[in-house]
Amino acid sequence: MDLLKKKILEEGEVYEGNILKVDGFLNHRIDVPFMRQVGKEFHRLFKDEGINKILTIEASGIAIGALVAQEFACPLVFAKKTKTKNIAGDVYTSQVESFTHGTTYDIIVSKRFLDKNDKVLIVDDFLAIGNALNGLIDLVNASGASLAGCGVVIEKGFQHGGDKLREQGINVQSLAIVESMDHDTGMVYFRD
Burial bucket for residue 80 (CB in 10 Å: 0-12, 13-18, 19+): middle
Cα gap 140→81, rounded to integer Å = 16
Q: Residue 105, interface with its own copies (CB under 8 A)?
A: no
Q: Residue 63, interface with its own copies (CB under 8 A)?
A: yes
8 Å CB contact between 122 and 137: yes
Q: Residue 142, interface with its own copies (CB under 8 A)?
A: no
Q: Residue 89, interface with its own copies (CB under 8 A)?
A: no
- Would you say 14 or 69 has its CB closer to its own copies? 69
8 Å CB contact between 66 and 100: no
8 Å CB contact between 176 and 162: no
- Would you say 30 or 153 has its CB closer to its own copies? 30
User: Site for its own copies (CB under 8 A): which residue of 12, 65, 149, 161?
Assistant: 65
In the complex, the residues that contact its own copies under the rule CB under 8 A are 23-24, 28-33, 35-36, 54, 58-59, 62-63, 65-67, 69-70, 73-78, 80, 109-110, 112-113
